[in-house]
Amino acid sequence: MQGLMMQQPLLVASLLVHADRHHGDQEIVSRRVEGDIHRYRYRDLAQRARRMANGLTALGIQPGERVGTLAWNGYRHMELYFAVSGSGSVLHTLNPRLHVDQLAYIIEHAEDRVVFFDLTFLPLIESVAPRVKSPKLFVAMTDRAHMPRAHGLSGTLMCYEDLIELHSDAFDWPLLDENSASSLCYTSGTTGNPKGVLYSHRSTLLHTYAAALPDSLNCSARDVILPVVPMFHVNAWGLPYIACMVGAKLVFPGPALDGKSLYELIETEQVTLSAGVPTVWQGLLSHVAERAGTFSSMRRTVIGGAPCPTAMTTQFQERYDVDVLHAWGMTELSPVGTVCSFKAHQRALSGEERYAIQAKQGRSVFGIDMKIVGSDGDELPWDGNAAGDLLVRGPWVARQYFGGDDVPPLRDGWFPTGDIAKIDADGFMQITDRSKDVIKSGGEWISSADIENVACLHPDVTMAVCIAARHPKWDERPLLLVVRKPASSLTERQLLDFLDGRIAKWWKPDAVIFVEEIPLGATGKVLKHRLRDRYGSYYL
Ligand code: ADP
């Protein structure tokens, strides 16, 4: 028997409509690229998003077509989140930290019709534009007074505020199929090119409900949320959508992610909840410690993307009375998978025992099933000891990559995360290692394969292997191990100079170690775990 309830599709635009109707007065505060602070309300966001939706239609953007953004966290980016997805096209957030070659690849692969960019990224856009066939249209996210004059994009460059002013705010959000695509985010491939994760309206809405729950990110209308995690990185962990759903005040930091700027914003805007990777919080904590400051309003911070060190949790909680929510997720998971919030019986535990729990990545958010399996594929027990490949499934987990040009990732309906984990009897998951061959520095991926390929182009290099070595500030940094050609006197400096310009600057390994040989397995594969065991602490 069928249920007799309405078939209301789950759509991204409905979040905005709700925020406009029920929280129209709530503020959105943004630090702009120009350095000043911009303020407006959800009501203004909704109105300008409707104008922009008309603007996109006028530009000829069709449903399903991709619209790129290369932008910081700010109100204009937020407007695009809703104008683009809400009108039926696909918001493609581009990561400005990528090398220009990769950006060009991603823009071409996604066939972006237009790219919106913050002024900071004009030089990047100028380098990318001649390398791509699509798009032929770029929109600077600024007003007429700040439009750049000298540029190599003439004829193809438009002004964001012109698009807003020119178009009416009368726009009816279309009733889309909830399974249609809403946004796209590329993640670094372990091998080969970056892969696109294509979210749907339905997956985004379900993720929003789940991520807002009290034992997840715990967001409400009384919160002032500061997403430090970029809007170009997995939709800022879903916070722009969550804030609309619950009616929270939003504070966007723009490009200023240093400790001083963040602290000023947290205090002046009375932020209650922030979210970011450990590296960002290190900068903030050192700044606050230096000036013997306190947090007058901030009570919770979500830390994820990389393991949160216990020293950081202790400092936040004991010194500043800010609760740490350690979370784990992935681009392929929209991204929230687990959050470390206590169960009732754990409240009585000693401080040390509680910190041991908080070092774990946490328990599954409803909607995400997880399991760990051994090398034979058999499921391992949740005893807190057995470690195996972590597999997940759920309505906001990717089943395939965009373009379909990669091997479908699922194993019997489960998504292999590439993380190695154990799970305890209470269901708390802890990552112990990573089987995927990538390096995560300051919350962003570095592809070891790309660095190896470029290093091997040097005529004196026989073999080059890049591994993730632990780093006190960046969590991980690349370390390059190289076998030189016989009789070569290639130096570390010469090889690093060779890499300059061929890979993104921050991808450059911090050190090169010349070795006699690289350990290989039976099938000729490099035994990276052996190298990690031996050299993984090199930077500590
Ligand atoms: P995000 O940075 O939003 O988590 P990514 O797709 O860039 O998403 O990275 C996902 C990967 O980052 C995970 O598979 C895992 O290897 C690592 N990761 C994410 N969160 C944590 C965490 N809390 N602890 C350890 N590793 C993490």
DSSP-based three-state secondary structure for 262: helix
43 pLDDT more than 90: yes
Class of residue 453 by CB neighbours under 10 A (exposed 0-12, middle 13-18, buried 19+):
middle
Q: Could you give the 3-state DSSP secondary structure of residue 422? A: strand
Query: Which residue has a Cα nearest atom 2 of ligand 1?
Result: 305
State whether residue 263 is helix, strand or coil.
helix
| Amino acid 164: pLDDT | 98
Task: Return the pLDDT at 302.
Answer: 98
Judging by beta carbons within 10 Å of its beta carbon (0-12, 13-18, 19+), is residue 469 exposed, middle or buried?
Answer: buried
Which amino acid appears at position 193 of this protein? N
Pairing, β 300-304 against β 273-276:
parallel
Give the C-alpha separation, 438 to 189, whole Å.
Answer: 8
Cis-peptide into 335, omega within 30 deg: yes
- Cα end-to-end distance, the chain, whole Å: 62
Strand bridging mode 90-93 / 181-187:
parallel
Which residue's CA is the closest to the ligand 1 atom numbered 24? 307
pTM of the predicted model as reported, rounded to 2 decimal places: 0.94
Between the alpha carbon of residue 404 and those of residues 68, 116, 344, 412, the distances in Å are 20, 26, 44, 18
- Do 437-540 and 12-202 fall under one CATH topology? no
Predicted pLDDT of residue 437: 83
Write out residues with Cβ below 6 Å of ligand 1. 187, 233-234, 304-307, 326-331, 335, 361, 417-419, 431, 434, 440, 443, 445
CA 409 to each of CA 83, 189, 472: distance values in angstroms, whole numbers, following the listed order: 31, 12, 33
Q: Give the Å distance between the CA of 443 and the centre of ligand 1.
A: 8
Q: Cα–Cα distance between 66 and 280 in angstroms, integer?
A: 30
Q: By C-alpha distance, which of 437, 476, 440, 430 is closest to 310?
A: 430
Q: Is 178 annotated as catalytic?
A: no
The residue whose CA has the least distance to atom 9 of ligand 1 is: 330
Under CATH, which number does the domain 12-202 receive? 3.40.50.12780
Q: What is the mean pLDDT of the chain?
A: 94
Residue given tokens 């010349």 in the structure block: 514
Residue 463 falls in which region: left (phi positive, over 0), alpha (psi -120 to 50) or beta: beta
Q: What is the pLDDT of residues 363-413, one digit of tens each?
A: 999 999 999 999 899 999 999 999 999 999 999 999 999 997 667 789 999
Which two structure tokens, joined as six digits, stand for 489? 């006197």
Active site (annotated) includes residue 445: yes
Please state, in angstroms and as integers, the Cα–Cα distance from residue 387 to each residue in 347, 354, 415, 434, 537, following that order: 26, 21, 17, 11, 22
The yes-or-no answer on residue 332 being catalytic is yes
Q: Which atom of ligand 1 is nearest to the CA of 443?
A: 2
Mean pLDDT, rounded, for 269-276 = 98
Distance CA 477, CA 480 (A): 10
Residue in 161, 332, 444, 452 annotated catalytic: 332
Per-residue pLDDT, 447:
86
pLDDT in tens, 92-111: 999 999 889 989 999 999 99
Pairwise CA distance, residues 26 & 43, whole Å: 8
Q: Distance (Å, rounded) from C-alpha 53 to C-alpha 44? A: 14
Q: What's the pLDDT tens digit per position in 435-481?
A: 888 899 998 888 888 899 899 999 999 999 999 999 999 999 999 99
- Extract the runs of DSSP E, i.e. beta strands, from 63-180: 66-70, 90-93, 114-117, 137-140, 157-159
Q: What percent of the chain has pLDDT over 90?
A: 88
Whole-angstrom distance, CA of residue 287 vs CA of residue 321? 17
Pair of tokens at residue 422: 């154990």
Q: Is 60 left (phi over 0), alpha (psi -120 to 50) or beta?
A: left
Query: The dihedral of CA 169, 171, 177, 178: what is its sign?
Result: positive
Atom of ligand 1 nearest to the CA of 234: 3
On whether the CB atoms of residues 334 and 207 are closer than 8 A, the answer is yes
Tell how far the Cα of 307 is from the centroid of ligand 1, in angstroms.
8
Topology (CATH level 3) of domain 437-540:
GMP Synthetase; Chain A, domain 3 (3.30.300)
180-201 pLDDT per residue, tens: 999 999 997 666 678 999 999 9
Q: Identify the H or E element spanning 494.
A: helix 492-499
Determine the distance from the C-alpha atom of residue 440 to the mean position of all C-alpha atoms in its chain, rounded to a whole number: 12
Contact criterion met (CB below 8 Å) for 72 and 254? yes
**What is the C-alpha separation between 304 and 243, in angstroms, rounded?**
19
Binning pLDDT at 50, 70 and 90, where does residue 529 land? confident
The rounded distance, in Å, linking the Cα atoms of 211 and 399 is 20
Query: Does the annotation mark 173 as catalytic?
Result: no
pLDDT on residue 15: 98
Q: Report the alpha-carbon distance of residue 32 to residue 415 in Å, rounded.
A: 38
Q: Which atom of ligand 1 is nearest to the CA of 440?
A: 12
Q: The tokens of 88 are what?
A: 């039926």
Q: Mean pLDDT over residues 202-226, rounded?
A: 98
pLDDT of residue 312: 96
> Do the beta carbons of residue 90 and residue 178 sit within 8 Å?
no
For position 404, what pLDDT does the model report? 78
Inter-residue contact 490 to 484 (CB < 8 Å): yes
Q: Which two tokens stand for residue 209?
A: 């409900």
- Going from N- to C-terminal start, the domains of the chain cover 12-202, 437-540
Instruction: Give me the torsion for CA of 422, 425, 428, 432, rounded to 10°.
Output: -20
CA of 326 to the centre of ligand 1 (A): 11
Reduced to 3 states (helix: H, G, I; strand: E, B; else coil), residue 275 is: strand
